[in-house]
Amino acid sequence: MNPAMNPSGNIAVMEQNGDDHLATPIHGPSVHSDNPQERIQARRLRIAARQEARRREALGEYLDGKKESEEEQSRSYKQKEESRLKLTKLLLCGTELVTNIQVATDIREIHRRVEEEEVKRQRLEKLENEVKTSQDKFDEITAKWEEGRQKRIPQELWEMLNTQRVHCAGLIEDKNKLISELQQELKIKDDQYVKDLKKQSDDINLLLERMEEQVKNVMKNFRQELIHIEKAFELERQELLSSNKKKWERALQAHNAKELEYLITRMKKVEDYEKQLNKQRAWDCEEYNTIKIKLERDVQILEQQLQQMKATYQLNQEKLEYNFQVLKKRDEESTVIKSQQKRKLNRLHDVLNNLRTKYAKQIKQFQEENQSLISDFKRLVGQFKELQRAMRHFTIIDAEKFREIWLMNEEEAKALAQRAFDVDCVIHVQHLGLPWKTPDFWFLRNVGPLSMQQRKSATQILEELLLQTEEDGTEEAVSEDESYLDLPKQVSAKTTRRILMLLCDESGFLIESKLLSLLLPLEKSESYLLRLDAIFSALGIESEDDLYKLVNFFLRYRSHHLSSAKESTSIYTERTSLMSALERVSLLSQVDRRSQVSKSEVESIVEQETLQGGDYESLEDRELREKEDLSSPRLIHPNDVLKILEAFVMGLKKPKEIRPVVRVKKDVRDNSRDSEYWESLALVIPVSKQNLWDALYKALEKYYLVLTQRAKLLMENDSLEQQNAEMQSLLQQYLQAKVNAELQIPPTQGFRMPTK
Partner 1 sequence: MQDSPSATSGLRTHSQSAFNLQSQASTAGGASSGASPLKTSPNPAPMHLKPKTTNVRRMRRIISEDAEWTLAIVPFLTELCIQHIVKNFQNNPILKQLLPEHQKKVLSHLPHDLPLTVTANLIDDENYWHRCCIKRWPVCHVDKHGGSWKRMFFERHLENLLKLFIPGTTDPNVILDLLPLCRNYVRRIQVDQFLPPVRLPTPPQAEEQSDSGSEGEGNEPEKDHYQLESLVAGLKHLEELDLVYGVKDCGMNFEWNLFLFTFRDCHSLAATIKACHTLKVFRLTRSKVDDDKARILIRSLLDHPALEELDLSHNLIGDRGARAAAKLLSHSRLRVLNLANNQVRAPGAQSLAHALAHNTNLVSLNLHLNCIEDEGGQAIAHALETNKCLTRLHLGGNELSEPTATLLSQVLPVNTTLISLNLTCNHIGLDGGKQLLEGMSDNKTILEFDLRLSDVSQESEYLIGQVLHANREATRQRTLSPGYFMSSITNNSTENSVG
Residue ranges that bind partner 1, judged by CB under 8 A: 2, 5-6, 8-14, 16, 19, 22-26, 28, 30-32, 42, 45-46, 48-50, 88, 96, 100, 103-104, 106-107, 109-110
Distance CA 133, CA 287 (A): 161
Kindly tell me which of 64 and 109 has the beta carbon lying closer to partner 1: 109
Distance CA 527, CA 518 (A): 9
Helix, strand or coil, per DSSP, at residue 682: helix
Identity (one letter) of the amino acid at 4? A
Smallest distance from partner 1 to CB 204, Å: 16
3-state helix, strand, coil in the chain (%, to 5): 85, 0, 15
Kindly tell me which of 49 and 355 has the beta carbon lying closer to partner 1: 49
Kindly tell me which of 207 and 529 has the beta carbon lying closer to partner 1: 207
Identity (one letter) of the amino acid at 720? L
Kindly tell me which of 46 and 223 has the beta carbon lying closer to partner 1: 46
DSSP code for 457: B
Kindly tell me which of 16 and 517 has the beta carbon lying closer to partner 1: 16
Kindly tell me which of 22 and 285 has the beta carbon lying closer to partner 1: 22
Smallest distance from partner 1 to CB 196, Å: 16
Kindly tell me which of 101 and 636 has the beta carbon lying closer to partner 1: 101
Distance CA 230, CA 227 (A): 5
- Closest among 545, 543, 540, 554 to 458, alpha carbons compared: 543
Angle at alpha carbon of residue 489, lines to 483 and 491, rounded to 5°: 60
Kindly tell me which of 50 and 654 has the beta carbon lying closer to partner 1: 50
Kindly tell me which of 50 and 663 has the beta carbon lying closer to partner 1: 50
Smallest distance from partner 1 to CB 21, Å: 12
Smallest distance from partner 1 to CB 133, Å: 26
Cβ proximity of 499 and 551 under 8 Å: yes
Q: Where are the beta strands (DSSP E) in 439-555?
A: none
Smallest distance from partner 1 to CB 64, Å: 20
Kindly tell me which of 13 and 452 has the beta carbon lying closer to partner 1: 13
DSSP code for 74: -
Strand partners, 543: 457
DSSP code for 406: H
Angle at alpha carbon of residue 634, lines to 628 and 638, rounded to 5°: 140
- Residue-wise DSSP of 168-217: HHHHHHHHHHHHHHHHHHHHHHHHHHHHHHHHHHHHHHHHHHHHHHHHHH
Cβ proximity of 511 and 531 under 8 Å: yes
Kindly tell me which of 106 and 526 has the beta carbon lying closer to partner 1: 106
Smallest distance from partner 1 to CB 45, Å: 5
Smallest distance from partner 1 to CB 98, Å: 12
Distance CA 548, CA 745 (A): 117
Smallest distance from partner 1 to CB 70, Å: 16
Kindly tell me which of 4 and 611 has the beta carbon lying closer to partner 1: 4
Decide: residue 276, CB within 10 A, 0-12 exposed, 13-18 middle, 19+ buried: exposed
Kindly tell me which of 32 and 514 has the beta carbon lying closer to partner 1: 32
Cβ proximity of 648 and 582 under 8 Å: yes
User: Residue 107 is inside which H or E element, if any?
Assistant: helix 75-150
Kindly tell me which of 97 and 541 has the beta carbon lying closer to partner 1: 97
Cβ proximity of 532 and 462 under 8 Å: yes
Secondary structure in 3-state letters for 264-295: HHHHHHHHHHHHHHHHHHHHHHHHHHHHHHHH
Smallest distance from partner 1 to CB 152, Å: 47
Kindly tell me which of 13 and 399 has the beta carbon lying closer to partner 1: 13
* Chain center to CA of 306: 90
DSSP code for 452: P
Smallest distance from partner 1 to CB 118, Å: 14
Contacts of 586 (CB under 8 A, 6+ apart): 545, 549, 654, 655
Rounded to 10°, the helix 458-471/544-567 angle is: 70
Contacts of 456 (CB under 8 A, 6+ apart): 464, 543, 544
Cβ proximity of 507 and 642 under 8 Å: yes
Smallest distance from partner 1 to CB 106, Å: 5
Helix, strand or coil, per DSSP, at residue 543: strand
Smallest distance from partner 1 to CB 107, Å: 4
Smallest distance from partner 1 to CB 25, Å: 4
Kindly tell me which of 70 and 482 has the beta carbon lying closer to partner 1: 70
Strand partners, 457: 543
Smallest distance from partner 1 to CB 11, Å: 3
Cβ proximity of 428 and 465 under 8 Å: no
Smallest distance from partner 1 to CB 175, Å: 19
Smallest distance from partner 1 to CB 167, Å: 30
